[in-house]
C-alpha cells in the first residue's frame, strides 16, 4: 500500500516573508521619520515652559505625600528631607538594634501609645495638607 503525504500549501520564510517584513519595517521607519520631521518643524506647545524656581500655588502632591508636604512647611528644607529618610532607616534597623526579649506589659503599652500618636500626627498632617 502506498502512503501519500498530504501536500502543504506553504510559503517559505526566506525570501518571500522576509521581503514582506523588510517592506513593513522600511514603511514604518518612513512614517516615524515623517512624524519626527513634522514635529521638529511645527512643535506643539502646551503653554509656558516650566520654571523650576517658582512653584504655582495650586500644586499639591498625591495623598500619600501630603503629610510630608505639610511637614516641610514647618521645618527647614534639609531637615524636611533628612528626617523621613532617617525615620525609615530607624524603622528598618530597629529589630537589629533592640534584641532584648519583650516581657513587660508597660513597654508594650508605651510602644502602642507612640505608634498611635504617630498615626494621629500623620493623619492630621495629611488632612491638613489636603485642606490647605
The answer to whether 70 touches 129, Cβ cutoff 8 Å, is: yes
Residues 74 and 113 grouped into a single domain: yes
Q: How many domains does the chain have?
A: 2
Residues 109 and 116: their CA atoms lie apart, in Å, by 10
Residues 43 and 41: their CA atoms lie apart, in Å, by 6
Residues 132 and 73: their CA atoms lie apart, in Å, by 11
In the block, residue with C-alpha cell 532617617: 86
Domain span at residue 21 reads 12-42
pLDDT digits (tens, 9 = 90+) for 78-130: 898 899 999 999 999 988 988 888 788 998 899 899 999 999 999 999 999 99
| pTM exceeding 0.75 | no
Question: Domain for residue 121, yes or no?
Answer: yes
Amino acid at each position: 500500500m502506498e502512503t501519500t503525504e498530504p501536500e502543504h500549501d506553504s510559503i517559505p520564510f526566506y525570501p518571500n516573508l522576509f521581503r514582506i517584513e523588510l517592506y513593513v519595517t522600511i514603511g514604518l521607519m518612513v512614517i516615524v521619520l515623517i512624524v519626527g520631521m513634522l514635529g521638529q518643524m511645527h512643535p506643539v506647545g502646551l503653554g509656558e515652559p516650566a520654571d523650576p524656581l517658582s512653584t504655582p500655588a495650586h500644586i499639591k502632591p498625591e495623598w500619600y505625600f501630603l503629610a510630608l508636604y505639610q511637614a516641610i512647611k514647618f521645618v527647614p528644607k534639609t531637615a524636611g528631607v533628612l528626617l523621613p529618610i532617617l525615620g525609615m532607616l530607624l524603622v528598618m534597623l530597629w529589630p537589629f538594634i533592640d534584641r532584648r526579649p519583650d516581657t513587660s506589659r508597660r513597654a508594650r503599652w508605651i510602644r502602642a501609645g507612640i505608634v498611635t500618636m504617630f498615626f494621629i500626627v500623620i493623619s492630621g498632617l495629611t488632612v491638613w495638607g489636603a485642606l490647605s
